Amino acid sequence: MKVFPNIKVAVDAVVFGYKAKELSVLLIKRGVQPYKDSWALPGGLVLENESLEQAVERELQEETGVTIDYLEQLYSFGKPGRDPRNRVISITYFGLVSPNHFKLQADTDAADVKWFSINELPDLAFDHDKILNMAKSRLQSKLTYQPIGFELLNTEFPFSDLEHLYQTILNQKIDRRNFRKKILSFEILTETDKIYKPESGRPAKLFRFNQQKYKELQENGFHFEIKFA
């Protein structure tokens, strides 16, 4: 028996941001049916002559104005009925960006675009709540064995900002002394000659992320484990 499946391939992106010690996610308001005026993850169908990575980068740029700094494939969602229009399999990605680096701009199928606190999310279209929950779990898991997240910080930052970032994403207090010792031992941070002077508390040195050193460690393999307080 001949089978002619009518299956479409889409990409969806979970883009995390971090600002004012709060983790947020980038959402669009759909301007078309189905789920018109509902909030959803940016994404859309893959075009005939583009790769999955090109498709998700294009959709993000078109619908939000954001260019991904860190992008990783998450999972494939293909349950029948997840899209009322067609049988659609979505290849999902998650990324990390600094909200300060972009001016949001909604276009094409998106009527609006906005950062939402991860703790104050609206109801999402399709099965995007499941996608978002999986992305958050993946990010939390990844943080416990591989130092990532520098894309969410300013180019130069006090070490305390990195500590706050980890504790915010993991929603758990870390052993700060052990964390600092391990991070600095990898030499993935470069100390600058600049000083951060907070409104309250002691001044602190500013650091920069050493991407070259980080890539070398990734190639050679390294173990990073967080101890919690």
Distances in whole angstroms, Cα of residue 168 to Cα of each of 18, 85, 138, 152: 9, 38, 15, 12
Domains of the chain: 7-128 (3.90.79.10), 150-220 (1.10.10.10)
Whether the per-residue pLDDT at 3 is higher than 70: the answer is: no
pLDDT band of 63, cuts 50, 70, 90: very high
Q: Specify the pLDDT at position 150.
A: 86
Q: Which two tokens stand for residue 168?
A: 């915010």
Mean pLDDT of the chain: 90
Phi, psi of 89 (to 5 degrees): -105, 125
**Residues near 85 by beta carbon (within 8 Å), at least 6 away in sequence:** 34
Residue 48 in 3-state DSSP?
coil
Please give the model's pTM, rounded to 2 decimal places: 0.89
CB-neighbour burial class of residue 168 (10 A; exposed 0-12, middle 13-18, buried 19+): middle
12 CB-side CA count, 13 A: 27
CA angle (83, 46, 14) in 5-degree steps? 70
Q: Specify the pLDDT at position 215.
A: 86
pLDDT average, residue stretch 186-214? 89
Note the pLDDT tens digit of each residue in 151-191.
888 889 999 999 999 999 998 999 999 999 999 999 999 99
pLDDT band of 1, cuts 50, 70, 90: low
> Are 15 and 97 contacting, i.e. CB atoms less than 8 angstroms apart?
yes
Query: Virtual CA dihedral for 46, 24, 143, 15, nearest 10 degrees?
Result: 10
Percentage of the chain exceeding pLDDT 70: 97
Whether the per-residue pLDDT at 32 is higher than 90: the answer is: yes
- Where are the extended beta strands (E) located within 38-79? 39-40, 43-45, 70-77
Note the pLDDT tens digit of each residue in 114-143.
999 999 999 999 999 999 999 999 999 988
Task: Answer whether the bond into residue 34 is a cis peptide, omega within 30°.
Answer: yes
pLDDT band of 202, cuts 50, 70, 90: confident
Angstrom distance (rounded) from CA 50 to CA 12: 15
Whether the per-residue pLDDT at 4 is higher than 70: the answer is: no
Nearest to 47 by CA among 134, 108, 127, 4: 108
Q: Which two tokens stand for residue 36?
A: 């018109």
